[in-house]
Amino acid sequence: MAIVPVKLNIRIASPEDADAIGRAHSEGWDAAYRGLMADTAVDEFIHSGDHTERWSVRLEEEPEERDVWVAEVDGKVVGFAQTGPNRPSASAHPSEPKIAELYCIYLGAGAIGTGVGRRLFAHAIDHLRSRGYEQVVLWVLERNERARRFYKAAGWQHDGTSRIDPGDGCKDLRYSIDL
């Protein structure tokens, strides 16, 4: 069992966090998908422009019902999670007001395996529960066994739905949990 850092703070992100979120997103993508996807796809994402600028725009323009949470250890942002209403897609059930989605959760390389991810994940889901959601869904790369174990350990189950991600052509599985 990993030891959770003593000075962990989880808070709503601000535009000033865009650089740290961008770094955690790139590092998290590399750690999560290297070896599971073609290296060219991982490299393309990591080097596909200014992640700081993208997150800066997102944090300024995201609808109010979407939240971006950051995890800080000793005052430094080491990861983030984004949640909000379920997004409808061709292979998902229509969005309903009581169904939320965990859009993403990523940690910088140094935070992986420390317990920060579990605390950040629990915080984001608890917040959705407090907003009256009855169920949460997320999408995970079928080949990402580590992430699937993480979600299963938290009580989530594959609900039988899958899709081919149009961005990378990989198969994703939908996991869900009733709150």
pTM: 0.88
**Domain 8-178 indexed as CATH 3.40.630.30:** yes
Tokens at 147, concatenated: 């992430």
53-102 per-position pLDDT tens digit: 889 988 988 778 899 999 999 999 999 999 999 987 544 455 555 899 99
| Secondary structure of residue 88 in the 3-state scheme | coil
CA 170 – CA 134 distance, rounded (Å):
29
Range with the largest mean pLDDT of 1-15, 30-44, 137-151: 137-151
Q: Which residue has the tokens 């579990």?
A: 118
Between the alpha carbon of residue 115 and those of residues 4, 65, 137, 152, 154, the distances in Å are 5, 27, 22, 16, 13
CB 139 within 8 A of CB 127: no
**Sheet strand arrangement including 171-178:** 8-12, 67-73, 76-85, 99-107, 135-141, 171-178, 157-164
pLDDT of amino acid 144: 95
pLDDT score recorded for residue 41: 85
Tokens of 24: 């955690």
Segment 143-158 mean pLDDT = 95
Q: What residue segments make up the domains of the chain, in order of their start?
A: 8-178
Joined together, the tokens standing for residue 178 give 């009733």
Sort residue 96 into left (φ over 0), alpha (ψ -120 to 50) or beta: beta
